[in-house]
Amino acid sequence: MTSTLWQPFTLGRIELPHRLALAPMTRNRADADGTPGQLIAEYYGQRASLGLLISEGTQPSDDGQGYLHTPGIYTPAHVEGWRGVADAIHDGGGSLFIQLMHVGRIAHPDNTPHHRQPVAPSAIAPEQDIFTAEGPKQIPTPRELSPEEIQAVIAEFRHAAASAIAAGADGVEIHGANGYLLHQFLSPNANHRTDAYGGSIENRSRIVVEIARALAEEIGADRVGIRLSPAMPLGGLDEGDTESVRAQYRHLVGELATLNLAYLHVHHVGDDELLRSFREAWPTALLVVRYGRTREQIGDDIEAGLADIAPLGRFALANPDVVARLREGAEFNELDPSTLYSGGAAGYTDYPVLTHA
C-alpha cells in the first residue's frame, strides 16, 4: 500500500489517523421501528479503526423509508439507539457520520410505518421490484411532492441532522446518490416538474443545495458531507448523455462548494474528466469510491491527487480489522453474499479477525 494512504488527515472538526474510511452500506439490521440496537453498535464498533465511519442509509422520516429494517434518525428512540452506536465507535477511536437517506420513489407501502404511497419529484414509477416481507413486489407509482411538501422534506433533513448530533454523531452525510430522492430530482427522466424544482439544471439542483444549506445552518458546514453518483443508473434513472451529466454536476458541485461542507463523497462510475473538475472546484475533502477496485488499487486516486480519502465497502464488511490486514499484508476474509441482508449476527458481526501469538 502507498505511504500516502497512511498519512493523517483533518476532515471538518475531526482528525483522522489515515486516508481510509467505511463506506455506507445498507445491512437491514435495525428494529422494526427503525431503532438501531446493540448488534448494530457492535458491528460499527468492530470497524472503528477505519477512522471515519459513514453509516448505512438512515431515513429522516416515515416517508423516507424504502426497505425493511433500515434505521431512522427522527424519534427519541432512534436518537438513543444511535447514541449506543456512536459510543462504540468513539470508544474504538473512530468518528461517525450518519448518512441521511430519503428513498423517494424506491419504496413500497408494505415497508413503511404509515403504509402510504411513496413520494417523488414526479408521479413516475421506476418500473422495478422491491423486496417486502411477502417477497418481491412491483414498486407503485409515487405521488408527486407539492412545493409545500418539498419544504417539509427539507425540514425533515434539518431535524434528522440535529437528531444525529444529539445522538453523539460527529456529522451527517446527505445521500444525493444511488437512485434515491435527491438523485431523482437531479435526473430528467424522473423529474418532469415545471416549477422551481424542475426543468433547468439550476432548478433540478435546487432541493439538494437547499438541504445542504439548511444542514450547514443547523449543525455547522464542517459537520456535513454529501454523496453524489453522476450517471449512476440505479433506481430506473437515466441522466442523459455525458455532456448533460457533466453540465448538471459541474453546476451542482459549484453551488455546493460555496457552502464549505466537510466533504464531497463521489460514487464514481468512470468519468475521470468530471472527477478532475470536482477536484478543482471542491475546497475541502474529496472521498472517492470506485467499483471493482482491487486491494492494490485502493490508494490510486489519492496518489493521483483525485481524492483525499478512499472509503471501503465490501472489503470492510467482511474484514472488521481491514486496516490491520492492509498494514500487514494479511489475507482478506471472503464475503458471504447470502448474509448481506439476512438479519442477525451471521455474516454481520462474526467475521474473524487476525490473531497474533
Residues noted as catalytic = 180
Which distant-in-sequence residues (6+ apart) come within 8 Å of 118 by Cβ? 63, 66, 103, 104, 105, 106, 107, 108, 109, 139, 140, 142, 143
Yes or no: say if 58 and 70 are a contact pair by the CB < 8 Å rule.
yes
Pairing of strands 14-16, 143-144: unpaired
Q: What is the DSSP letter of 63?
A: T
- Nearest to residue 70, comparing CAs of 84, 55, 80, 83? 55
Of 238, 235, 24, nearest to 130 by C-alpha is: 235
H helix runs in 220-291, sequence order? 242-257, 272-281
Maximum Cα interatomic distance, the chain, rounded to a whole number of Å: 66
Grid cell listed for 259: 457552502
* Cα dist from 221 to 31, 201, 214, whole Å: 31, 24, 9
Alpha-carbon gap, residue 98 to 90, rounded angstroms: 14
Of 77, 63, 1, 3, whose CA–CA distance to 34 is shortest? 77
Q: Is-contact 341 49, C-beta < 8 A?
A: no
Tell me if 68 sits within 8 A of 28, measured CB to CB: yes
Q: What are the residues facing 136 on neighbouring strands?
A: 131
Do 16 and 10 contact (CB within 8 A), yes or no? Answer: yes
Nearest to 167 by CA among 103, 219, 220, 213: 219
Phi, psi dihedrals of residue 83, rounded to the nearest 5°: -60, -40
- Asked whether the beta carbons of 88 and 184 are under 8 A apart, the reply is no
CA 246 vs. chain centroid, Å, equals: 21
